[in-house]
Amino acid sequence: MKADELRDLTTEELAQKERELKRKLFNLRFQRATGALDNTAELVKTRHDIARVMTLAREKTREARR
């Protein structure tokens, strides 16, 4: 997921995206613990996506305060 794609989303949509990604990360961790996860790189990618969404959400809230 690219930051440019996320910049077009509203703060509510970013919050929804963050919840979806955190749910996905939970499921990936569960799969890893049970030995069902084939692609462990997906964990890192999902964590990076969460950080990207959180960063953009913070930028939007800071801009709104000005």
Q: What is the CATH number of domain 3-65?
A: 1.10.287.310
Instruction: Give pLDDT tens digits for 53-66.
Output: 999 999 999 998 88
Contact residues for 37 (Cβ-Cβ < 8 A; gap 6+): 28, 31, 43
| pLDDT value, residue 58 | 95
Averaged over 1-10, what is the pLDDT? 89
Q: How many helices (H) and strands (E) does the chain have?
A: 3, 0
List b or e across 26-63, with b for residues whose CB sees 16 or more CB atoms inside 10 angstroms.
eebeebeeeeeeeeeeebeebeebbebbeebbeeeeee
- Domain ranges across the chain: 3-65
pLDDT in tens, 15-54: 999 999 999 999 999 999 999 999 999 999 999 999 999 9
Phi, psi of 62 (to 5 degrees): -70, -40
Q: Is the pTM here over 0.95, yes or no?
A: no
Q: Is the pLDDT of residue 1 over 80?
A: no
